[in-house]
Structure 1
Amino acid sequence: MVFSHISRLLSQPMVQNLSREALLKLDPEIAHRLTINAIKLGAVAPEELADPSFFETEIAGLTLKNPIGMAAGFDKNAEVPNQLCDIGFGFAEVGTLTPRAQEGNAKPRLFRVPEKQGVINRMGFNNEGHAAAYDRLTNKKQVGSTIGVNVGANKDSSDFVADYVEGVRLFAPVADYLTVNISSPNTPGLRDLQSGEALKRLLGEALHARAQASVRVPVFLKLAPDLDEKQMDEIVGVIKSVDLDGLIISNTTLGREQIAGSEHVDEAGGLSGKPLFNFSTQRLAQMRMRVGNDMPIIGVGGVHNAKSAIAKFAAGANAIQLYSALVFGGMEMLRDIKDGMAQKVRQDRLKNVSELTSTDVEGWATGKAHI
């Protein structure tokens, strides 16, 4: 009822131009729904200028027009991935999608931390399920869009691994890449899949399902930042033994040191946005040192301007993703980041943006680098 009313409102020109300041005064979930509907209706204009040729990025067999993607969580149900690519993202990741539709956790479950440009969420994989997203991707995916599908497990599932296998099996023929998301803190027991034997079973069965598909779609594993040295070593031991295509580092953190004293510091859930940047980027660099230079890594967590984007590459990322920072910076942040990265490439006389990757892995891994 509320959302149908919102959809009618969005047909009015004044609301199509709803300012970021106005959105920040609304309940976070209503503001998010407004944004999705506005993009659906074309209220966010497609990018007019083509990306410079030096932004073209090869990762895990994919060719991206630029290495900046929309992270999972924004377009949970594959409603606007084509439009996101038209707006200027090099790729868009939809989901997290579970086999069956589920409501997620009780509301309120999404909290802004404006003074720190952070967000806390305990959404709980709320989504419409596989079938709805599959229908959209099958019937509406446009040529030139690079769309990843992030798959997860239903909260009440008796076998989490079986849910991931089902997601891989279903979406492998229609996705440009798949992400196995075992790092959300909002589904009890899910992060346990990051450990030894459980991870071995998960990846073994998921990659077997991928091998049976009609095309070989790249599969990424999305990890939490809340891993210690021993856990990272254990994960690397597993992934080096399987045919995994890449990593996404990282998901949200359960830590609260970065927002101590803030209003919502005691809310349960994962913290994302600017406060996560240094922490997640250190984990990225530490994993880069462990896996070497050949494994693709998508860096996500706290990117909020061009400087932070460039730093994420320096720590070892081959591509990056945004989401939470857009809550405070708006979609124009994407253009600002691109402009800053283009300036850096030209200033350093680089031939391609990929030359920004791994220029300061040790500094970030040891905590000497930060922004």
Structure 2
Amino acid sequence: MTTMMSIQRKIRSTAIGAVAAVALVEVTTHLPSEGRSSLTYHYLFDHCITPLGRRLFDPEGAHHLALDVVRWGLAPRLSREGGSDESRLNTKIEIGNNDKRKLQFPGPIGLAAGFDKNGTAIPGLFDLGFSFVEIGSVTPLPQPGNAKPRSFRLLEDRGVINRFGFNSEGVDRVKEHLREYRHEFGGRGSEANENSTSDHDENNRSMEENRTPNNYFLWAVGWAWSRLMTTKSRTGVLGVNLGKNKTSEDEVGDYIVGIRELGPSADYLVINVSSPNTPGLRSLQQREQLQNLLTHTLKARDDYAPHAPLFVKLAPDLTIDEMKDVASVIMDTGVDGMIVSNTTNVRPESLISKHRIESGGLSGAPIKDRSTECIRIMYKLTEGKVPIIGVGGVGSGRDAYDKLKAGASLVQVYSMMVYEGPGVVSRIRKELADIILENGYKGVEDVVGAEHDDIYWNLREETARRKMQERVVAEKKIVDL
């Protein structure tokens, strides 16, 4: 018995030593050169830090910590390892029904609203590998949201229930955050910050002058981190999700304030009428109210942010008749796109977590199939003519692929990062690229709506005719010259 235990200890010690040796080689050879993009760094976050965070912090505390980690530039960057040909994801996806509002997305995977409500961590979020990031929901005035606790993990179901209630710093603070981001990385609204360059330089000089022995160590650590672990930040398309204040009696006015104040700095805007945690909000999806809201917000968009496509975010709990009404309004008003779907009030019978009884919106794996079905229905009702951003339970490349085939042009991720870690973004991209290749498609655009044969081929024929006409016009112009 003693001999057997001794052998087991030796085997265990040998195994631990071997793992440590491999880890040491990986860290010393890859981490300094590849930094936060290395497999080691991704593994550390996904299999150590993320599970530990779930054990040590309540859901909202872990959320705030994760946001800080991203904001400080400590989160993993997009990993290029694994041999996948991600060029198939680089198709320029155009959204917008007006040439002035044609918005090209560098890839199909984005971050859904709710993670960065106030726009404080945008560069770090693009670094994770998202091609587009949606911040918010942002309300006109600051508001604390609902009482805590208001977020619950359904571990056994890989879901989340939240009842935050549009906790927001308000448009004024978010506007400042967007100005800071645009000043550093360019794009929409950056011209409003050209006068702040001198202040920025002055701050840098001040930091240099304050490098005293007391803080030299921290400065040295920061310098080493910036050299070994960071590179130039990625950028992408930035969306702003707009909400209304809880006590507001002028819903339309609230959304117009958001468009006016934040639209100039946004690449696209979202009218959120589907959160289940703000009293009366979902009633705005009723035909007459939605028609009135979209008519006024589209006019405000044309006045204050004519460059920005306008999306409307929908609930997954609409009946078929309600979906038909919504689709009709969307087609009539000329909204640029829709996001399908928000969280659900419905509790599937399959849920087993003790938190399934909590009130609020359910997201994550339990909503995946329902959101995909909603995408499928809305794509049919709009005949594939209104772009859809699909969201709900996306945790793998297969999940994203299913939503694209159902009719989504783009896909968003959020809740599944709670369980998969930030490295899920890189994995989804790799898996999606592989699936597209395996199924014989050239790129993302060829997958969108592929389930709907009649609509799919009609749209492709229309696209081919349009490109032919554009080519003829271009050739005629050359001849005329």
Give the TM-score normalised by structure 2: 0.70
Tell me which of 166, 189, 192 is aligned to 1:125.
166
Aligned residue identity for 2:263: A
What CA distance in whole angstroms lies between the structure 2 residues aligned with 1:217 and 1:199?
20
**Are the counterparts in 1 of residues 93 and 107 from structure 2 also a CA contact under 8 Å?**
no
Out of 306, 316, 322, the residue aligned to residue 215 of structure 1 is 306
Alignment of structure 1 residues 172-187 onto 2, 5 Å: 172-187=263-278
Match of 1:68 among 69, 84, 109: 109
Which residue identity does 2:70 align to in structure 1? I
Deviation sequence 1:348-371 (CA, Å, 0-9, x none): 332212211112248xxxxxxxxx
The answer to whether residue 64 in structure 2 is matched with residue 33 in structure 1 is yes
Give the C-alpha shift of residue 90 in structure 1.
0.5
Q: 2:326 aligns with which of 223, 235, 251?
A: 235
Q: Give the match for residue 10 of structure 1.
A: none
Distance 1:188 1:130 in 2: 21
For 1:311 and 1:145, the matched residues in 2 are separated by 24
Aligned residue in 1 for 2:279:
188
For residues 122-153 of structure 1, give each alpha carbon's deviation from its aligned partner in whole angstroms, at most 9, with x where no partner exists. 00000101111111112213244311000000
Deviation at 1:47, TM superposition (A): 2.4
CA distance in 2, matches of 1:289, 1:228: 15
- For the pair shown, which has the larger CA radius of gyration, 1 or 2? 2
Please report how far the alpha carbon of residue 309 of structure 1 lies from its aligned counterpart in structure 2 after TM superposition.
1.1
Report if aligned partners of 1:180, 1:220 keep a CA contact under 8 Å in 2. Answer: yes
Are residues 1:22 and 2:52 paired?
yes
Hey, what's the Cα distance between the residues in 2 that align with 1:44 and 1:116?
26
After superposition, give the CA deviation of every residue in 1:150-192 in whole Å (9 maximum; x if it has no partner): 0000001111111011111222211000000000000000000
CA separation in 1, counterparts of 2:143 and 2:432? 39
**Cα-Cα RMSD:** 1.8
The aligned residue for residue 7 of structure 1 is none
Specify whether residues 259 and 138 from structure 1 end up closer, same or farther in structure 2 by C-alpha distance, changes over 3 A only: farther
- Structure-2 separation of matches of 1:240 and 1:35: 39
Paired residues in the alignment total: 348
Partner of 1:59: 94
Q: Does 1:307 align with 2:398?
A: yes
Using the TM superposition, give the Cα deviation of residue 325 of structure 1 relative to its aligned residue in structure 2, in angstroms. Answer: 0.6
Aligned pair 1:323/2:414, yes or no?
yes
Match of 1:92, as an amino acid? V
Secondary structure at the counterpart of residue 19 of structure 1: helix
Partner secondary structure for residue 428 of structure 2: helix
Percent identity among equivalent residues? 40
- Aligned-partner Cα distance in 2 for 1:183–1:261: 26
**Aligned AA for 1:348?**
N
Partner of 2:383: 292
Unaligned runs of 5+ in 1: 1-15, 363-371
User: Counterpart of 1:136?
Assistant: 177
Correspondence 1:149-188 to 2 at 5 A: 149-188=240-279
Question: Against the structure 1 CA distance between its residues 154 and 259, is the aligned structure 2 distance closer, same or farther, given a 3 Å change threshold?
Answer: farther
- Conservation of the 8 A alpha-carbon contact between 1:258 and 1:276: no
Structure that is richer in helix per residue? 2
Give me the whole-angstrom Cα distance separating, in 1, the residues matched to 2:443 and 2:163: 38
Equivalent position SS for 1:230: helix
Higher relative contact order (CA 8 A, sep 6+): 2
Which residue is equivalent to 1:89? 130
8 Å contact 2:400–2:428 — kept in the other structure? yes
- The residue type paired with residue 21 of structure 1 is P
- Tell me, in whole angstroms, the C-alpha distance in 1 between the residues paired with 2:123 and 2:153: 27
3-state SS of paired residue (1:360) = coil
- 2:78/2:425 contact within 8 Å kept: no
Alpha-carbon separation, structure 1, partners of 2:295 and 2:444: 34
Q: Secondary structure at the match of 1:115?
A: helix
In structure 1, give the amino acid aligned to 2:315. Answer: A
* CA distance in 2 between partners of 1:237 and 1:86 (Å): 38
* Distance in structure 1 (CA, Å) of the matches to 2:349 and 2:444: 30
Query: How far off is 1:82 after superposition?
Result: 2.0
Q: 2:119 aligns with which of 78, 87, 91?
A: 78
Deviations along 1:270-296, whole A, 9 cap, x unmatched?
A: 000000000111011000000012211
* Aligned residues of 1:113 and 1:264 also touching (Cα < 8 A): yes
50-59 vs 136-145, which moves further = 50-59
- 1:269 is aligned to 2:349: no
Cα distance in 2 for residues equivalent to 1:258 and 1:313: 27
SS at 2:312 equivalent: strand
